[in-house]
Copies of this chain bind each other. A is one copy, B any other.
């Protein structure tokens, strides 16, 4: 019997999972992401976690196909080119980690790994071509073409959140540009739109009585019939539909999957995005299927292990 690891390095925790060759998740756990010292402890911690697991389970390294790992930065040929989240500069993750643990290591961008996970075991199952948009604090994107993640020449493919969808924007995005989709459709973006809208509008709204406004509050208020909340979300949906149309005009996938915290809003989000998508997409690409992500936080470790399977196959 052969096995492998799928690992997802995040800014707060590192998720690890142990898989059978058949793709069954047999175990999963987390360790803390130590970001001190420019994140220099992260890879040694990962190596230790893997080694400890192998020793505890009395596994032979010959049984381990390899380790797949997703990291939050642009990846080219196993090397990540800056991870601001972790404090890393250019880091040869594959070289460093495989030397530490004596196993083959395959590296991908975390958003791409989540996409690979969803197309393998989640909502994209059965599709060869998929776009995953992760609507979290920011927006991540992963593109699967021919069943493989598209990295891009500089590891920047799928940077969907930083497509300009409003050239009139005067506030800068965290990336320094103006009018990025992330400024409107991420959790933080929805809150930003909400604050702007509440300031401009005169009508009353349940949202005015909240001290700390969250994205979920806006969705909840809208579901409860709040008019302003509805207007705020319509704006967010329009931006989201517009950016998804741009992406689909470029790669024309079979399915678009919405994931991340914001996607917990469920069907209303899906319907809203799809309505405006239809307004902006080129007719030939319009019959794409929309779905909500189904693997949640496990998407990344699934995808990371799939990278191992694809490499050894």
Residue of B nearest to A168 (CB): B168
Task: Report the separation of the CA atoms of residues A177 and B246 in the bound assembly, to the nearest whole angstrom.
Answer: 13
* Residue from B166, B175, B280, B285 in contact with A156 in the complex, judged by beta carbons closer than 8 Å: B285
* Closest-CB distance, A146 to chain B (whole angstroms): 8
- Which secondary structure dominates where chain A touches chain B? loop
Asked if B175 contacts A252 (CB within 8 A), the reply is: no
A299 touches B (CB below 8 Å): no
Count chain A residues whose beta carbon lies closer than 8 angstroms to a beta carbon of B. 46
Q: Which residues of B contact A282 (CB under 8 A)?
A: 156, 159, 162, 175, 177
Contact stretch, chosen from A60-68, A147-155, A213-221? A147-155
The answer, among B159, B166, B254, B283, for a CB contact under 8 Å with A249, is: B159
Once the chains bind, are B157 and A252 in contact (CB under 8 Å)? yes
Q: CB < 8 Å: which of B154, B245, B253, B288 contacts A164?
A: B245
Q: How far is the CB of A60 from chain B (nearest CB, A)?
A: 36
Q: How far is the CB of A228 from chain B (nearest CB, A)?
A: 21
Cβ contacts under 8 Å, A156 to chain B: 248-249, 252, 282, 284-285
Q: A124 at interface (Cβ–Cβ under 8 A)?
A: no
A274: chain B residues within 8 A (beta carbon): none
> Is A145 interfacial (CB-CB < 8 Å)?
yes
* Copies of this polypeptide in the complex: 2
Contact status B129-A153, CB under 8 Å? yes
Is residue A158 contacting chain B, with contact meaning CB distance below 8 A? Answer: yes
The reply to whether B246 and A152 form a contact with Cβ atoms under 8 Å apart is: no
Q: Are B252 and A251 in contact (CB under 8 A)?
A: no
Asked whether, in the complex, the Cβ of B250 is within 8 Å of the Cβ of A164, the reply is no
Say yes or no for A306: interface residue by CB 8 A criterion. no
Q: Which of B157, B254, B280 contacts A251 (CB 8 A)?
A: B157
Which of B152, B159, B287, B288 is close to A253, meaning CB atoms less than 8 Å apart? B152
A72-111 interface with B by 8 A CB criterion? 74, 81
Interface centre among A242, A251, A288 (most CB of B within 10 A): A251
- Our pick among B150, B160, B242 for the contact of A167 (Cβ within 8 Å) is B242
Closest 6 CB pairs of A and B: A152-B252, A156-B284, A156-B285, A157-B252, A162-B282, A156-B252
